[in-house]
Amino acid sequence: MKKTRTLVITSLLVAITVILARFLPIFRNDVIRISIEFLPIALGSIIFGPLIGGLTGLLADIIGATLFPSGTFFPGFTLSAFLTGIIYGLLLYKKNITVIKIVITIIIKVVIIDLVMVTTWLLIIYKMPLEALLLSRIIKCAIIVPIEILLIYFVARPIKNHLKKLN
């Protein structure tokens, strides 16, 4: 029964991630996408751990790129989505979720995934000058960090606590 529940909830989180990323971004151009697609990935990581969180990101990226392509598929973005779930899970799974832990998690994720990895993938794809690309990526991160902190604290943490009470 527990495996079935995990599969169903993870499938829903993958579907929500695809919808948020492909159809409901706050802002989108070739090198910047501001959206709340991180939230279902973070939620899957917080509830089920790093592996399920990583698979949520990985599957959402593959399904989204396959069913609703917006450019050429690049496996680096899939790796980044997988590692995003891993980071959330390693730092927030089975832990008391505090603002400090969320801030540390988001900063680690933003530096490793958003600034280093995704910027590298965009450099490979678009061959833009690093300075221009990095500046736009830093501005994007400055916008998204407070959004991620607030949403994880006010949405993911209460959902985790509610599910904990149900078990």
Per domain, the residue ranges of the chain are 2-24+33-156
Res. 32 pLDDT band, cuts 50 70 90: confident
Nearest to 156 by CA among 42, 49, 21: 42
* Domain 2-24+33-156 CATH class label: mainly alpha
Q: What is the pLDDT of residues 73-109, one digit of tens each?
A: 899 999 999 999 999 999 999 998 899 999 999 999 9
Find, among 88, 133, 89, 80, the residue nearest to 107 by Cα. Answer: 88
Pairing of strands 27-28, 33-34: antiparallel
What is the arithmetic mean of pLDDT over 147-156?
92
